[in-house]
Amino acid sequence: MDRAVAALSICADKLKRRNVTLARSVATEACRRASNGEKFINRVRQETGIALDIITAEEEARLAVLGCQILLEPGDGPALIFDIGGGSTELVLVDTSGSAPEIIDWLSAPWGVVSLTESEKFDADNPAAREQAFDNMRNRVAESFADFASRLPVSENCDFRLLGTSGTVTTLASLHLKLPHYDRKLIDGLIVPAESMRDISAMLAACSPQERAAIPCIGKERADLVVGGCAILDSILDIWPANRVGVADRGIREGILRSLMSSHEQRRRS
């Protein structure tokens, strides 16, 4: 909480310096699940002036779709958009046959890169233990996806369009391109073969934390968490076997912005 408030204080200072008059700030799964979530929200408002709104899982899924749906590849049939967060993962099945994507079905699974990583304790220096831990995480995620997976319209003729927004997919996309450092201009909108994503996931899961930390675009801060993200991504590809994965460096933030712009335009017209 102290670290979050310190970071939000910096955000608050930037808002004041830029004379921002309209903003929306949201909190997601961590605050939804935490017993002291409301206490944290109140503290943030008192110490920074930022009024955080704890949004529902459904609203989080809607905003993620709104923020990145423009990057969906053209095609027939429904598409799957996913957002791997820190405390949860949102899976959203959308119909793109109309002028704007329509949500057909969605799931908010209680596993994100932080919650999944913290759920599995093991000896990170032991290769066999790392392999078993990765399998355990995949099984845990697969179980949480099971009901949703049973409702997916999977068939031989399915187009299997897939678009992901999260640090996991942008990091793996950077490794796919062998970038020396992260470059949003090269990543946002990139299409990566699913096989490459799986190969990179397997490689990262097999590495020690020190080996992962030495890889460009990962570093020490992502060295532990990226494996949990890989387990989630693999599980998504298991239930929605796409050949290609669209990558978006945009999501809830851009969804909020588009919502604010739409509301402003509606008020202007009225």
Q: DSSP alpha helices (H): ranges in 79-218?
A: 113-119, 127-151, 167-176, 184-187, 194-206, 209-213
Mean pLDDT over 189-199 rounds to: 98
At 14, which helix (H) or strand (E)?
helix 2-17
- Contact between 245 and 191 (Cβ < 8 Å): yes
User: What is the predicted pLDDT for the residue at 269?
Assistant: 81
Are 270 and 211 in contact by the 8 Å Cβ rule? The answer is no
User: Which of 230, 254, 31 shows the shortest CA–CA distance to 113?
Assistant: 230
- Domain carrying residue 8: 2-54
Question: What's this model's pTM, rounded to 2 decimal places?
Answer: 0.88
Count the Cβ atoms, other than its own, within 10 Å of residue 51.
Answer: 11
pLDDT of residue 268 exceeding 90, the answer is: no
User: Mean pLDDT, to the nearest integer, of 74-91?
Assistant: 93
Give CA–CA dist 209/174, Å, rounded: 18
Q: Which of 3-7, 44-48, 64-68 has the lowest mean pLDDT?
A: 64-68
**pLDDT score of 101 more than 90:** no
Task: Please name the helix (run of DSSP H) or strand (run of DSSP E) that holds residue 259, with its range, or none.
Answer: helix 252-269
Share of the chain above pLDDT 70, in %: 100
DSSP secondary structure letter of residue 174: H
Q: How much of the chain is in helix, strand and coil states, percent to nearest 5?
A: 55, 15, 30
Is residue 265, in this structure, part of any structural domain at all? no
In a domain, 244, yes or no: yes
Same domain, 45 and 168: no
Same-domain pairing of 28 and 76: no
In a domain, 263, yes or no: no
> Once rounded to an integer, what is the mean pLDDT over residues 42-59?
95
Instruction: Determine contact, residues 206/131, Cβ cutoff 8 Å.
Output: yes
Contact 68, 96 (CB under 8 A): no
Same domain, 220 and 235: yes
- My answer on whether 65 and 30 are in the same domain is no
Domain match, 11 and 73 both: no
- Quick one: which H or E segment has residue 26? strand 25-27
Contact between 215 and 178 under an 8 Å Cβ cutoff? The reply is no
Considering 68-72, 152-156, 230-234, the range whose residues carry the highest mean pLDDT is: 230-234
Mean pLDDT of the region 221-235: 94
Regarding whether 230 and 213 lie in a shared domain, the answer is yes
Which band of pLDDT confidence, cut at 50, 70 and 90, is reported for residue 99?
confident
In this structure, is residue 224 part of a structural domain?
A: yes
**Residue 221 belongs to domain with CATH number:** 3.30.420.150
- Specify if 260 maps to a domain: no
What mean pLDDT, rounded, does the chain reach? 93
The answer to whether position 215 is within a domain reads yes
Is residue 259 situated within a structural domain?
Answer: no
Could you tell me the CATH number of the domain that includes residue 44? 3.30.420.40
Confidence of residue 92 (pLDDT cuts 50, 70, 90): very high
Whether the per-residue pLDDT at 264 is higher than 80: the answer is: no
- Quote the DSSP letter at residue 191: E
Together in a domain, 195 and 99: yes
Do 7 and 71 lie in one domain? The reply is: no
- Same domain? For 10 and 135 the reply is no
CA nearest to 82, candidates 161, 135, 143: 161
Least confident window among 93-102, 170-179, 207-216, 232-241: 93-102
126 and 155 co-located in one domain: yes
| Burial class (CB within 10 angstroms; exposed 0-12, middle 13-18, buried 19+) of 172 | buried
Note the pLDDT tens digit of each residue in 124-181. 999 999 999 999 999 999 999 999 999 999 887 888 999 999 899 999 999 999 999 9
Instruction: Identify whether residues 141 and 202 lie together within a single domain.
Output: yes
Based on the structure, what is the number of domains in the chain? Answer: 2
Q: Which two tokens stand for residue 29?
A: 């799964």
Tell me the chain's radius of gyration from C-alpha atoms.
19
